């Protein structure tokens, strides 16, 4: 059975770990691989690295996890954006497996 996915993109790895920890404590979710992005305007950002944390579970659990993650990340360095997808298409599922941390 397919699960929902909740995603939150934050400024920096410390905020990502804080967000991940809070989301996992708030709801019955599992975590996909983190993803990273260093945008062209990185020098103008509060932290020059964006990290995406991806939660998997029911829609209500993913929503609760993302909310808790947002609160935690905002106490560290901030949130870029967040979103919950109730039911992913097969191609979206494939994209969730990609991680910039796997690339040198």
Q: Dump pLDDT digits (tens) for 67-88.
A: 999 999 999 999 999 999 999 8
101, 54 contact by CB (below 8 A): no
**Mean pLDDT, residues 85-100:** 84
The radius of gyration of the chain's CA atoms, rounded to the nearest angstrom, is 13
Instruction: Report the C-alpha gap between 1 and 45 in whole angstroms.
Output: 39
How many Å separate Cα 22 from the centre of its chain?
12
* 8 confidence band (pLDDT: 50, 70, 90): very high
Using one digit for the tens of pLDDT, what is the confidence trace for 46-74? 788 899 999 999 999 999 999 999 999 99
CA 51/CA 11 separation, integer angstroms: 6
Q: How far is CA 101 from CA 14, 34, 98, in A?
A: 15, 7, 9
Q: pTM for the full model?
A: 0.88
User: Tell me, what's the pLDDT at 40?
Assistant: 80
């Amino acid at each position: 059975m397919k699960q929902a996915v909740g995603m939150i993109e934050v400024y920096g790895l410390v905020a990502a770990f804080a967000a991940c920890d809070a989301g996992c404590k708030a709801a019955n979710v599992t975590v996909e691989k983190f993803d990273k992005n260093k945008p062209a305007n990185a020098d103008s950002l509060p932290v020059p690295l964006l990290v995406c944390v991806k939660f998997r579970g029911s829609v209500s659990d993913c929503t609760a996890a993302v909310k808790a993650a947002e609160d935690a990340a905002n106490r560290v360095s901030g949130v870029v954006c967040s979103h919950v997808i109730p039911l992913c298409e097969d191609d979206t599922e494939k994209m969730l497996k990609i991680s910039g941390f796997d690339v040198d």
